[in-house]
Structure 1
Amino acid sequence: MKLTRLTSIAALGAVAALTLAGCAANETAPDTDPGASAPAGEETTATLSGTIEATGASSQGSAQEAWVAEFQTANPEANVLYEATGSGVGRDNFKAGASNFIGSDRAFKIEEIEEGGFGACTSDDIVEVPNYISPIAVAFNLGDIETLNLDADTIAKIFNGDITSWDDEAIAALNEGVELPATTITPVHRADASGTQETFQNYLAATAPDVWTHEVSDEWPLQSGEGADGTSGVVDAIAAGDGYIGFADASRTSELGQVAVQNGDEFISYSADAAAALVEASPLEEGRQPHDLAFAVDPAAAPAGSYPIALVSYLIGCVEYEDPEVASLVKGYFHFVTSEEGQQIGAEAAGAAPLSADLSAKVATAIDAIVTE
């Protein structure tokens, strides 16, 4: 199995252009009301207190653990409880009012927002900001083989069940000199509703449309393969099964074999900067409020050198909360996570790519839409 660590952690200097411009969230001006509006990116947090509960994306799990630890160290009277339930459960909980905020590997769709009914909020206006950009690795377990080159059609055929053996000629043609065993391929997918899964399907539909003809969804469209709950469940299943292959946030797959995914004439291994290059070339979706920042990522238009399967995960909260203390705590936590300090913590804990300076300014302004009075 592959034993290398996520290469992006060592390459943070190479993505300096993607560093946030906001200041650290625990830099507090004296005699400042923590509930008052602060300049973009400078939400004060030193006197924040109370408890907020969140559920959602398991892809953010490692980063959330690190963010919560640092935030609570700076704010001893604040408690942030994040449970990695998967994005679909997180969105359901937010609508039901069971979570004060959520992490999600996709933003709410415009039609979902128009339907309203966000039980966590006192209005139907929500804040959605990207906070975690990471490659989705296609990882496998195949003896001593550490890397394989695969194109979009071949990946789609594997997960579609059309290619069932590792020594298939389509795989062999892309990997000259590699001794491929006649081991049965077992594709692993998410059993739960997952934004990571939807991102992966979007890649297949965009780059292999003649093979992957299923409607893109956060649910898996096929009965074949093996399902597993959460990112950790997928990774554990691959690690335990000879011939298994699956997709998961790259931060959790470093001990598995890795697929270098074709983009143009190159086969690109995952890295934070290669994933960020795809996202940076993508526009924000039109028709949304200024505090609702959702990317329209098109893997088929991935620029040269970029990794074409990139996850953009979001923090989602209310513009208006019933409890001002909850509003202040959510706002302060959002500013911390998306600050320069917070993004570096995410990079070190999970290999995520820090937000760009331009995007970070928009994110800070969007977060300031949360009403704290």
Structure 2
Amino acid sequence: MNVRRNRLVSLAALGLVGGLALTACGGGSGSDSAAGTGASDNGGASAGAYAELSGNIAGSGASSMQNAQTAWSETFMGLVQAEGGDLTVTYDPTGSGTGREQFLNGEVKFAGTDAALDEEELAASTAVCNDEQAFNLPVYISPIAVVFNLEGIDSLNLPPAVIGGIFAGDITTWNDPAIAEHNPDVELPDLDIVPVHRSDDSGTTENFTEYLSATAPEAWTHGPIETWPIEGGQSGDGTSGLISTVEGGQGTIGYADASQAGELGTAAIQVGEEFVEYSADAAAKSVDVSPRAEGRAENDIVVELDRTTTESGVYPIVLISYLALCGSYADSAEGEAVKAYASYMVSEQGQQTALENAGSAPLSAELSAEAQAAIDGITVG
């Protein structure tokens, strides 16, 4: 069986067997909140809580969570319709940078971003958030896969310094001794390596280069960046564009949310003395061993990923896609709709939906409870 199909089977099994008891509280802070406070199977809402939801709410941002957002919005709108509500939720996978810009310009009511809103962006958010500051919530945890297109090769072992050297343009052929050393049983071709990067401002790029900067600073000297720093080379717009470019070449290599790796070859990453393939379990472990970012408000939940951990079974190239929300919404109907949708995303049903459709790692019970408490604190009207 194909290696990636095996991993997908294991991802589904993780969701069914792990039984993470995610908090399923409602999103309302008042007695007439649209999300209510009683738990049920409807992604955390009490019976009838969605009946009053109507109108349209739009979000944009990280293309990494595109599959999850499609599944979330379609399922959530079905739940709302079943209870008599009439709400449309849309999400445009414009990329993290554009999503944050549109959110801060008031063009969308929420944003998805692989890089949390920073201090300057949080300060600017009061202009569109009813004089309250925005905040970040983790909603989507996923490995970033190093994907490649080499005929007949499904998997390669790659240390951080080799990955950094490849994307910096210093390791240029697939049979380079630095690659061959860690893949003695693979017949590597005498073929040019063609690195592929994101052409847009990308949180996935920032997470990927943050990993390279932390683990292979001598090979990757450009630091953690959201916009690719090396001129030339092949590129793709958004996750789907990068994947398409890698698929369309031979000897190509790129980086993308693992949910969209498809049939491409993928790298096992060296952590300590072992090579670890991506999986939901290994991504979740990466978050578990990482501390919360310091100096942020209580409702602003940002994880400081430990890229250099050597703990067994951890896959360190992980992205956490955040949901950027306003602390207050002037329009009550819009605010209640956003709160209800956000509550669905962090609920047990919402996280299971993301696992089944995008292979993401469900939030832990503790992290989900913190996220729901922050949603409860949003004021409307």
CA distance in 1, matches of 2:159, 2:333: 50
AA aligned to 2:114 is D
What SS class does the counterpart of residue 300 from structure 1 fall into?
coil
State the partner residue of 1:361.
369
CA distance in 2, matches of 1:274, 1:218: 24
State the partner residue of 1:4.
4
What's the CA shift string for 1:259-279, capped at 9, x where partnerless? 011001111010011011001
What's the CA shift string for 1:189-246, capped at 9, x where partnerless? 1000011110000000000011111131111111142121000001000001000000
Residue of structure 2 aligned with 1:69, choices 74, 79, 93: 74
State the partner residue of 1:130.
138
> CA RMSD for the aligned pairs?
2.2
- Evaluate the alpha carbon distance shift between residue 3 and residue 179 of structure 1 in structure 2; reply closer, same or farther with a 3 A threshold: same
State the partner residue of 2:225.
217
Quick check: 1:161–1:224 contact (8 Å CA) kept in 2?
no
**TM norm structure 1:** 0.93
**TM norm structure 2:** 0.91
CA distance in 2, matches of 1:106, 1:334: 18
Quick check: 1:127–1:367 contact (8 Å CA) kept in 2?
no
State the partner residue of 2:289.
281
CA distance in 1, matches of 2:133, 2:231: 37
Deviation at 1:188, TM superposition (A): 0.5
Quick check: 2:34–2:52 contact (8 Å CA) kept in 1?
no
CA distance in 2, matches of 1:117, 1:128: 12
Instruction: Kindly tell me the number of residue pairs found equivalent between the two proteins.
Output: 368
Moved more, 217-226 or 116-125: 116-125
State the partner residue of 1:304.
312
AA aligned to 2:372 is A
Trace 1:313-352 onto structure 2 (pairs within 5 A). 313-352=321-360
Matched, 1:59 2:64: yes
Residue of structure 2 aligned with 1:250, choices 252, 258, 282: 258
Quick check: 1:97–1:118 contact (8 Å CA) kept in 2?
no
State the partner residue of 2:50.
45
Quick check: 1:48–1:329 contact (8 Å CA) kept in 2?
yes
- Evaluate the alpha carbon distance shift between residue 148 and residue 154 of structure 1 in structure 2; reply closer, same or farther with a 3 A threshold: same
Deviation at 1:6, TM superposition (A): 6.7
Quick check: 2:117–2:135 contact (8 Å CA) kept in 1?
no
Trace 1:125-204 onto structure 2 (pairs within 5 A). 125-204=133-212
AA aligned to 1:295 is V
State the partner residue of 1:98.
107
Deviation at 1:117, TM superposition (A): 4.2
AA aligned to 1:70 is T
CA distance in 2, matches of 1:190, 1:137: 14
CA distance in 2, matches of 1:168, 1:36: 57
Quick check: 1:123–1:320 contact (8 Å CA) kept in 2?
yes
Quick check: 1:53–1:81 contact (8 Å CA) kept in 2?
yes
- Evaluate the alpha carbon distance shift between residue 160 and residue 145 of structure 1 in structure 2; reply closer, same or farther with a 3 A threshold: same
Q: Which runs of 5+ in 1 are unaligned?
A: none
What SS class does the counterpart of residue 143 from structure 1 fall into?
coil
Moved more, 276-285 or 341-350: 276-285
State the partner residue of 1:33.
32
Matched, 1:207 2:215: yes
Deviation at 1:304, TM superposition (A): 1.7
AA aligned to 1:177 is D
CA distance in 1, matches of 2:285, 2:258: 16
Quick check: 2:11–2:355 contact (8 Å CA) kept in 1?
no
Matched, 1:21 2:30: no
Q: Which runs of 5+ in 2 are unaligned?
A: none
- Evaluate the alpha carbon distance shift between residue 36 and residue 232 of structure 1 in structure 2; reply closer, same or farther with a 3 A threshold: closer
- Evaluate the alpha carbon distance shift between residue 83 and residue 196 of structure 1 in structure 2; reply closer, same or farther with a 3 A threshold: same
Matched, 1:228 2:227: no
CA distance in 2, matches of 1:371, 1:185: 52
State the partner residue of 1:268.
276
The sequence identity of aligned pairs, in percent, is 44
CA distance in 2, matches of 1:95, 1:11: 35
Deviation at 1:42, TM superposition (A): 4.6
AA aligned to 2:233 is G
What SS class does the counterpart of residue 196 from structure 2 fall into?
strand
What SS class does the counterpart of residue 308 from structure 2 fall into?
helix
What SS class does the counterpart of residue 166 from structure 1 fall into?
coil
Deviation at 1:280, TM superposition (A): 1.2
Deviation at 1:102, TM superposition (A): 0.7
Deviation at 1:142, TM superposition (A): 0.5
AA aligned to 1:196 is T
